[in-house]
Amino acid sequence: MTPEPRTQAADTSIPDDPTTKREKRLAAREQRKQRAAAAQSRARLTRVVLLTVLALALAALTVAAFTTSFFGLAAPSVGRTFPLLAADHVAEGTPVEYNSRPPTSGPHYAAWYQSYGLVTETIDPRTWVHNLEHGAIVLLYNCSEGCPDLVAQIRELHGTLPRGRNARNGVPRMLVLPYADMDSRIAVVAWGYLLDLDELDRDRIVRFYDARIDRGPECVNLTCPS
């Protein structure tokens, strides 16, 4: 008996759809583009964050520099501030009412005290306020008995002060003189600033001097009339 020829099984597999392959390639390409775009976005965000941090750090450094004597433009917090009065020149003998004791700003005579260091005579504040306008420092001491020991200590301190760029003949531009119209024993004065002391405090006086010297209203970039 002759065997019947074997019939070939029908191929039921579905041939690859070219359209589906193309869609997959497009989808994969779109995913790669999205990942690349996301990576670029993260990189931009990282740069923005880094630049922001850098800018804030630079701003903080600038503020710190300007609030110290690092650049010589401003000062650490030492002493009290007072509202500034007009720096008008008045004729000698003109009454002037100041807003602090001792004065820290305000109208004054056209002539200022021409030398610095320790003096024993009383000087009219309407004269030495002009020195303040020139960026100088005035140290006043109030003691009826003369206090030679204190004066000797102040003299020694004065000799150790930084000379400053506007000093003449190597003498620091701090004027020291007796003054009675104040409540404290010692007062250190700059234009708009006052440091009250009951005892000689070398550190605070030097800090005040370093912070305020050469910063009066007539000074430009720390260059002042002498």
For 43-59, what is each residue's pLDDT tens digit? 888 888 888 888 887 77
Structural domain span for residue 106: 80-212
- Does residue 224 lie within any of the structural domains? no
pLDDT value for 212: 96
Instruction: Classify residue 129: in a domain, yes or no.
Output: yes
The domain total for the chain is 2
Q: Residue 160 pLDDT more than 60? A: yes
The encoded tokens of residue 192 equal: 């708009």
Same domain, 92 and 54: no
In this structure, is residue 226 part of a structural domain? no
On whether the CB atoms of residues 179 and 154 are closer than 8 A, the answer is no
pTM for the model: 0.68
Instruction: State whether 92 and 140 are in the same domain.
Output: yes
Identify whether 217 is part of a domain.
Answer: no
Asked if 149 and 171 sit in the same domain, the reply is yes
**Assigned domain for 135 exists:** yes
pLDDT in tens, 67-126: 444 444 444 568 999 999 999 999 999 999 999 999 999 999 999 999 999 999 999 999
Contact 141, 150 (CB under 8 A): yes
